[in-house]
Amino acid sequence: MLGKFKVSEKIEMKEKNGSIFIDDDRSILISISAFSTLRRDLIKNIGRDRMKGFLNRYGWDLGGKDAEKALKLNLDTIEDTIYYGPAMHMMKGHVKAEPTKLEVERKNGKFSVHMEGTWEESYEAVGHLEQFGKSKSPVCYTLVGYASGYLTKICNQTVVVKEVACQAKGDATCKWIGKSLDYWKDESIVDELKSYERTPIVKELEETYEKLLEERNNLEKSSIIHQKLTREILRGNDLQSIVKTIYETTKIPGMVVDQTYFPLAYGGLSFKEVKALNDEFKTYLRKKKSANPIATTVKIALKEHTYLIAPIFLQEKIIGYCFFVYPDSVRINDSRDEMILEQIALVSSLSLLIEKTKFDTERRIQGRFLEGILKGEYENEEEVYRRGLFIHMDLSEPYRIIAVNYETQDIDMHKELIFHEELLEATIEYFSNKKENMLIGHKEKRILFLVPESEMEEQEIKSYFNSYLRFLSQTFSATFFAAGISNLSESIIKAKDSYRESLIALRMATPNKRVVCFDSIGVIGPLLNENNQDEVKKISCNVLGALLDHSELLETLYAYLLNGGNLEQTSTDIALSLSGLRYRLAKIERLLGKDLREPFYNYQLLLALQTLILIGEIKVNGV
């Protein structure tokens, strides 16, 4: 394509004075290594971006001058004039050029052009690989500038060439695309156009000074805010006080939320506004359908507001977020506001850590106090009441003891301890936002609660602890949780008896009924005590006889008796066919030597089963 241009004939060498002329222009030869050294020194002295602009403009001037010569040749077509440029480029030893596409359209005395091609053995790519090694981006800056300057002069309007592949990056060839401005989308060549701007160094220094001045002001404001935040922390003020201080200083509305985006504190906003903003942001998250937490500071522009969000980290976990909220029309100072918001996130993390530490300490004190009450360590009621006042609890009023039990699959002791710690941590987190005044402790594989009657009545307790157990089941899906609730007790000295009642109730819990109250057990519970337990156990074992060796049959019998002999309901409860159920009932009758249709005998069997369950001798229904 370019072979018809005999540009090599235009080279003249005068040996007497060592001059080289190309098209009557005196030229010089320079080695690739020397040019690469120049590039390296330019990067060192003025930086990579300014070096790129310098070489782009240098190439532009070279291309423009060659275009002036090409126009004087009055070639047959505009296409020939355009192709003459790559031929000149090759003749000067810069590159092996091969145009692959050319579209030209005349418009109002100008030419709109779309041109593509390849470069091989670019002197810039070769030099870069020798001097620096492989590049992450194209490096043929003078070639791009040359092509842009040449086409711009020929087409009588600005043409910008972009290098889209480069041998210095490891690509097979260098590839480029050139278009006149009317063919480019504005946003795709912003950086390229900027590199051709001839900004004087004095102007750059002025801009740099203004940026440094802005940064100084930002740092000064950030420093003032840091000092105020530090004072708030040292004074022991809470998150609300911190957020209020930030708003008074910056006049930017904001809020701090937990990891579920529940508002913890806010400034410059009413509660109604906070709720509306929270709903707007949660709607955005739902539409985005991303389960990943926001792990870095981000700016999110929605329909009516723009949010600047920074995560709050505590012990390498995201525990919440700090928000700056801007009306859509407000211009954001990104760098300054990000710096301030990240400081707020850091201080919020410290504040939440202090609150968590205080809460954990209080819970541990309460746990030890409750354990001492259950062990009967205190001499009289007055001593317990007095100690209760220290933790702001009135223990003179009636109360209930709730025992929450968990059963894990077979795991070793080390994993068991880790699980227990995680369970306590989850419990503390669950109750950290609750306002109920109760004692929380733990004993063996149980979490214990002492709940005054003024806080919750029996039905409220059942609903409340059903919600708590659901939370635990969601958090620890492989574990079964159940709760037993004691009767209402009038005396704190009898807490040990209430604890025993909660354990008895706990033994009656099933997957279908995970929260059991002691008073729902009937007469068996109150009749059992330490003095008669062995005798009652002996009687119950005699009633059940050989059936005690068959846990599957015990479970079937228990379900049958609880359902009053209803075969269909029993079949559903234990997931067994009616024929299979009848077979088991017949086997039970053979082992017992009794007819299960006899009501009085059935009542004795049910009492025996419940008694052995209550004293922990047998387990049925997976409990």
In a domain, 342, yes or no: yes
How many structural domains is the chain composed of?
4
Domain end call among 326, 356, 386: 356
Sign, Cα dihedral of 442, 446, 447, 451 = negative
505 and 393 in a single domain? The answer is: yes
Give the model's confidence band at 138: pLDDT under 50 very low, under 70 low, under 90 confident, else very high.
very high
- Residue 317: strand pairing partners: 314
Please say if the pLDDT value at position 153 is more than 90: yes
Domain end call among 476, 499, 521: 521
Please say if the pLDDT value at position 5 is more than 70: no
Average pLDDT over residues 183-192: 75
Q: What is the pLDDT of residue 107?
A: 84
Q: What is the pLDDT of residue 351?
A: 78
- Structure token pair of residue 372: 């001492």
| HEC secondary structure over 166-233 | CHHHCCCCEEEEEEEHHHCCHHHHHHHHHHCCCCCHHHHHHHHHHHHHHHHHHHHHHHHHHHHHHHHH
Average pLDDT over residues 169-177: 93
Q: Are strands 317-327 and 439-443 parallel, antiparallel or unpaired?
A: unpaired
62 and 191 in a single domain? The answer is: yes
- Structure token pair of residue 315: 């012990």
In a domain, 623, yes or no: no
- In angstroms, the CA 121 to CA 245 distance is 63
pTM score: 0.44
For residue 263, the SS3 value is strand
350 and 387 in a single domain? The answer is: no
Tell me the pLDDT of the chain averaged across its residues. Answer: 79
121 and 221 in a single domain? The answer is: no
Backbone φ and ψ of 622, nearest 5°: 75, 10
Give the model's confidence band at 149: pLDDT under 50 very low, under 70 low, under 90 confident, else very high.
very high
Give the residue numbers spanning the domain of 599. Answer: 533-614
Question: What CATH number is attached to the domain comprising 475?
Answer: 3.30.70.270
pLDDT digits (tens, 9 = 90+) for 76-130: 899 989 998 888 878 887 888 899 999 999 988 899 999 999 999 898 998 888 8
Backbone φ and ψ of 146, nearest 5°: -60, -50
55 and 193 in a single domain? The answer is: yes
In a domain, 372, yes or no: no
Backbone φ and ψ of 198, nearest 5°: -95, 80
Q: Which amino acid is at 266?
A: Y
Domain end call among 322, 356, 390: 356
542 and 599 in a single domain? The answer is: yes
Q: DSSP code of 303?
A: S
- Looking at beta carbons, which pairs linking 246-251 to residues 24 or more positions away fall under 8 Å? 246/340, 246/344, 249/224, 249/225, 250/221, 250/225, 250/337, 250/340
Q: Which residues contact 143 (CB under 8 A, 6 or more apart)?
A: 59, 89, 94, 95, 119, 122, 124, 163, 174, 176
Mean pLDDT lowest among 222-236, 394-408, 598-612: 222-236
25 and 169 in a single domain? The answer is: yes
Q: DSSP code of 296?
A: S
- In angstroms, the CA 366 to CA 563 distance is 42
113 and 224 in a single domain? The answer is: no
413 and 496 in a single domain? The answer is: yes
- In angstroms, the CA 486 to CA 497 distance is 9
Please say if the pLDDT value at position 58 is more than 50: yes
Q: Are strands 254-258 and 317-327 parallel, antiparallel or unpaired?
A: antiparallel
**Residue scoring higher pLDDT (216 or 193):** 193
Beta strands in 334-445 (DSSP E): 399-407, 439-443
